[in-house]
Amino acid sequence: MVGREVAVHFHEFLEERAAKGEAVNLVFEERLFKLVGVLGKIADPLSAANIPYEVVGGLAVLIYLEESDPTHSALTRDVDILMRRSDLESAIAAAERQGFRFRHVAGVDMLLYGDKAANAVHLVFTGEKVKQSQMVPNPDLAPERRFIKGQEVRVIPLAHLVKMKLSANGDKDRVHIRSLDAAGLITPEVERGLPELLQARLRRVRETE
């Protein structure tokens, strides 16, 4: 997406929809705005500090779906950020200035905002496996610039996201793949770029829809 957008507040969103006479799923939209709020609190300081990052996981899926076909969007509880391990100390310093606290819990590095785990940003590092069955995330960060509710963020390229989801191959990952596919985002070009193993997994996901 090219150009600039202005961050939208929840009440402004409701007023705009009401003026157009459009129905709103209040529970979904309110939770989405809160999620985007947490994302913005970490995305802005990372960008200001010139620390490369990519939004990954379910939130990346949601961002692509909201832009392409919101009828397939589903909320996620987590904000997952992919970055370089060498940038961790700088990222912690930038985040702490925004009210985050760094925690390492059960093998997971996270930045916690406030007292609620729901406000945590989970950190994933390039070149490191998230779990043993998963392929190593792409070591080269090449994020795409996207907007969600007016908030500018840097998101993992779609082809890389599909690879990560097929590699993880958990229940929620297959749900995400189905949603991306239903929205027409897993194009023949994306599919051709997959390793043979992941192409086979994609076929199995499609066969079990």
What's the CATH code of the domain at 153? 3.30.460.40
Q: Is residue 203 part of a domain?
A: no
Q: Is residue 190 part of a domain?
A: no
Give the model's confidence band at 25: pLDDT under 50 very low, under 70 low, under 90 confident, else very high. Answer: low
- What is the rounded distance in angstroms from the CA atom of residue 126 to the CA atom of residue 119? 23
Tokens of 172: 């929620």
At 14 the pLDDT is: 66
Of residues 135 and 69, which shows the higher confidence score?
69
Average pLDDT value for residue range 61-68: 94
At 3 the pLDDT is: 41
Residue-range definition of the domain harbouring residue 49: 10-157
By residue count, the chain amounts to 209
The reported pTM is: 0.84
Q: Is residue 208 part of a domain?
A: no
At 10 the pLDDT is: 63
- What is the rounded distance in angstroms from the CA atom of residue 51 to the CA atom of residue 88? 9
Q: Is residue 137 part of a domain?
A: yes
pLDDT at 4 over 50: no
At 29 the pLDDT is: 76
Of residues 6 and 102, which shows the higher confidence score?
102
Q: Is residue 197 part of a domain?
A: no
User: Considering its fold, how many domains does the chain have in total?
Assistant: 1
